[in-house]
């Protein structure tokens, strides 16, 4: 098995144990209700990649994704809570997988049944951190070599948000991946929605579900 595939599979399996305990030609864009029109085609934003078809929603207290926003789910994608790890060893492993750059993961939206990839939602540990600062800390908090950071402000559903894209190189796999994340503030929390390509997921696997979710963000209890 190729090195990068081993790494990707191992990471997915490890986080999966915590969850539930949880062709480069892009599709032409179609408009999303309340969402921004595509602005920049190609590298690095790929705004021409259309949002996925919706099938249900996630978010809100008491849901598998307990955050103070709701967002549409792509068809075939499933939201799963990330439960606190149990036991001493589990805590050590869980800390590495559930904490990153001043944020804590709240839930994971699994797209493997629809193709591949994950959308993860993180909450900043500090209630006063700005969306841009949260994104900067998140991007550099995973231990990879980070380069090519770019930012833009946009309207994300019912929120003003900041979006970031960057390249990350994993030291173990020696593989470069493109990442995207959007941060918004709601009910005293700064939330980060994040997807990445590389390893075993392509951008056309992850961007449609991500675009659907962030363009459909709404307030929730």
Q: What is the pTM of this model?
A: 0.82
Summarised one tens digit per residue, pLDDT across range 45-85 is: 999 999 999 999 999 988 999 999 999 999 999 999 987 66
Q: What is the mean pLDDT of residues 148-176?
A: 92
- For 10, the token pair is 């191992």
Return the CATH number at 185: 3.40.1000.10
Sign of the four-CA dihedral 23, 42, 53, 198 = positive
Residue 34 belongs to a domain:
no
Phi/psi of residue 41, each to 5°?
-85, 155
Residue 132 belongs to a domain:
yes
Summarised one tens digit per residue, pLDDT across range 136-153 is: 999 999 889 999 999 999
Residue 32 belongs to a domain:
no
- In terms of Cα–Cα distance, which of 154, 143, 211, 151 is closest to 184? 154
Task: Supply the mean pLDDT for the chain.
Answer: 83
Report the chain's C-alpha Rg in angstroms: 16
Sheet holding 54-59, edge to edge: 54-59, 69-74, 218-219
The DSSP secondary-structure symbol of 30 reads -
Residue 142 belongs to a domain:
yes
| Total number of domains in the chain | 1
Residue 57 belongs to a domain:
yes
Residue 35 belongs to a domain:
no
Predicted confidence band of residue 210 (pLDDT cuts 50, 70, 90)? very high
Summarised one tens digit per residue, pLDDT across range 74-108 is: 999 999 998 766 777 666 676 778 899 999 999 99
Domain of residue 205 covers 3-24+41-219
Q: Residue 212 in contact with residue 74, Cβ under 8 Å? A: yes
Residue 180 pLDDT exceeds 90: yes
Residue 8, pLDDT score: 39
* C-alpha–C-alpha distance, residues 215 and 221, integer Å: 19
Residue 190 belongs to a domain:
yes
Residue 166 belongs to a domain:
yes
Predicted confidence band of residue 27 (pLDDT cuts 50, 70, 90)? very low
Q: Residue 121 in contact with residue 192, Cβ under 8 Å? A: yes
């Amino acid at each position: 098995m190729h090195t990068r595939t081993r790494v990707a599979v191992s990471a997915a399996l490890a986080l999966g144990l915590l969850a539930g305990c949880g062709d480069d030609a892009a599709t032409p864009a179609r408009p999303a209700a309340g969402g921004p029109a595509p602005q920049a085609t190609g590298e690095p934003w790929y705004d021409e990649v259309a949002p996925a078809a919706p099938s249900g929603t996630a978010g809100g207290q008491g849901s598998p994704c307990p955050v103070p926003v709701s967002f549409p789910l792509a068809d075939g994608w499933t939201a799963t809570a990330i439960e606190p790890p149990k036991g001493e060893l589990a805590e050590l492993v869980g800390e590495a997988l559930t904490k990153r750059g001043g944020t804590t993961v709240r839930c994971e939206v699994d797209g493997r049944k629809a193709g591949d990839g994950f959308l993860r939602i993180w909450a900043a540990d500090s209630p006063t951190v700005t969306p841009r600062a949260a994104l900067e800390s998140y991007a550099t908090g995973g231990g990879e070599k980070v380069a090519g950071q770019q930012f833009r402000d946009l309207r994300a559903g019912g929120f003003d948000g900041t979006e970031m894209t960057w390249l990350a190189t994993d030291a173990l796999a020696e593989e470069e991946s493109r990442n995207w994340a959007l941060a918004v503030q709601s009910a005293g929390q700064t939330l980060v929605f994040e997807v990445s390509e590389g390893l075993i997921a392509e951008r056309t696997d992850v961007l449609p579900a991500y675009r659907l979710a962030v363009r459909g963000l709404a307030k929730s209890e």
